[in-house]
Amino acid sequence: MPAKTEFFLMLLIIFLLLQHESCIGSNVGKKKPGPPLKHPAPGRKQGSGSPPPSPGRKKGSGSPSVPSQGYPKGYSNIFDVLSYGAKGDGVTDDTKAFQTAWQAACSVESAIVEVPAEFRFLVGPISFSGPCQPSITFQIDGTIIAPVNPRAWGPAGMLQWIQFIKLNAITIQGCGVIDGRGSVWWGSSDCEISSQKGQQMPNIKPTALRFYGSIGVTVKDITIQNSPQCHLKFDSCTSVKVSSVTISSPWDSPNTDGIHLQNSQDVEIHHSSMACGDDCVSIQTGCSNVRVHNINCGPGHGISIGGLGKDKTKACVSNITVYDSSIGDSLNGVRIKTWQGGMGSVKGVSFSNIQVSNVKIPIVIDQFYCDKSICSNQSSAVAISGVTYENIRGTYAYKAVHLACSDNVPCTEVVLTEIELHPVERILQQPFCWKTYGQAQNPSIPPIYCLHAGNPYKNPGSLQSNRDGC
């Protein structure tokens, strides 16, 4: 290779490294499930020297404006929050700047809202609403922190901190952090004294990041940590992809689910790590065609479908696949839980190639779920059928299998194959089944003899009546 060519190649490599030095440097010591970003920041040309100014940032000007038609080609779609008044010092309230940047980006197709690295942005409760031009990217390379002043949340509190509503093709990505600073919300009581002397945080705790009524949602590479409640929620969304995301909060932080799905279809969650105080992935009513794979879960409560049917409601869940994942130091492994008194159905569920380590109960169906001290007995239940467990291996701390189904609406077509679960220490609890119909194929460890053969429904219509509307 000619010396001149080698020289220019070396210059290009040095430039690419400098482009990402700040982003990578801000994440030193942070464990990420996926590889680091290897491309320049979106919208910036390789080999163009220093990064261009962000649109709307004019020296000596007042409030920023939307870029004009004559802005240099290739940069007119970038909306840096610093250009819209954000300080990024971790103290100044940057909520208004974020909202203004969003409003400008909303009218531009393929816009990029940039949250730059090496800054710490204090942002209060905020909604990024559509309809907007499609294909907006929120590039989060810095850190976004939630307020810990109770006044920021109102007297009753709020259900969400950051939410995206009614959007088409929205992407959240970057090597940055969304930090809910939830420790001020957690405690032995519903409220805990905050850092503001004599003031209390509201009873209602917010979800850190929520998407509602959107199509084509992508979340990748970011870290979400210490949410006051659920970390990442998708409600009434279609075509959702989550990858290479890290979610973390203390194991004893209450109700801090990792990812919560409800009324959402065509969802894929993969190659991500979750450690939290509740379910790593929680799949609720209205969900179908969901794939979860290559997940590292724990500590937490495992990967769960439900609870479904609370307060005599109808729940419909179908075509759920969980595979090639690991669950460790967790309350449960893979679980389906429903309340007594509900209706509807869960059908077409597959759990396969799951490695468990020190999990209290790795395989769970619980149709008597109750998170209160007393729950009354009910005759109706959400029907559960067509559930397979294949190649579930590892260690458990209390019981390998717990399948507790409804007296009046038994579970059917439950299949367990290639189960190999060993106790962490000597365990006297044997696999438990109640009103569970199916089969355990191949020799299993421990032996599972408690399943009933056949189908309890002499009249198929009696089962179908529970599935009406699903």
Residue 123: both structure tokens together:
């942002």
Give the pLDDT mean for 87-98. Answer: 98
User: pLDDT value at position 460?
Assistant: 60
pLDDT class of 467 with cuts at 50, 70, 90: low
The CATH architecture one would assign to domain 279-470 is 3 Solenoid (2.160)
Number of helices (H) and strands (E) in the chain: give both, helices first.
3, 30
**For residues 273 and 70, which has the higher predicted lDDT (pLDDT)?**
273
Give the pLDDT mean for 120-135. Answer: 97
pLDDT class of 71 with cuts at 50, 70, 90: very low
pLDDT class of 49 with cuts at 50, 70, 90: very low
User: pLDDT value at position 23?
Assistant: 52
Instruction: Report the predicted TM-score, pTM, of the whole model to 2 decimal places.
Output: 0.84
- Side-chain-side CA neighbours of 384 within 13 Å: the count stands at 37
Give the pLDDT mean for 337-365. Answer: 97
Give the pLDDT mean for 120-147. Answer: 97
Asked if pLDDT for residue 72 goes beyond 60, the answer is no
Question: 3-class SS at 237?
Answer: coil
pLDDT in tens, 245-270: 999 999 999 999 999 999 999 999 99
- In the chain, which segments carry CATH 2.160.20.10? 76-278, 279-470
Q: CATH for 76-278, among 2.40.160.50, 3.30.1490.20, 2.160.20.10, 3.20.20.80?
A: 2.160.20.10
Closest-CA residue to 445 (of 405, 393, 406): 393
CA distance 302 to 355: 12
State the chain's mean pLDDT as an integer: 85
Which residues form the catalytic set? 278, 301
Residue 99: both structure tokens together:
């909202």
Give the pLDDT mean for 336-344. Answer: 95
Contact 364, 333 (CB under 8 A): yes
Residue 442: both structure tokens together:
């191949």
pLDDT in tens, 287-336: 999 999 999 999 999 999 999 999 999 999 999 999 999 999 999 999 99
User: pLDDT value at position 417?
Assistant: 97
At residue 422, φ and ψ (nearest 5 deg) are: -115, 140
User: pLDDT value at position 457?
Assistant: 80
Q: Identity (one letter) of the amino acid at 323? A: Y
Judging by DSSP bridges, how do beta strands 120-122 and 89-93 pair with one another?
Answer: parallel
Q: How many CB atoms lie within 10 A of CB 468?
A: 11
CA distance 453 to 437: 6
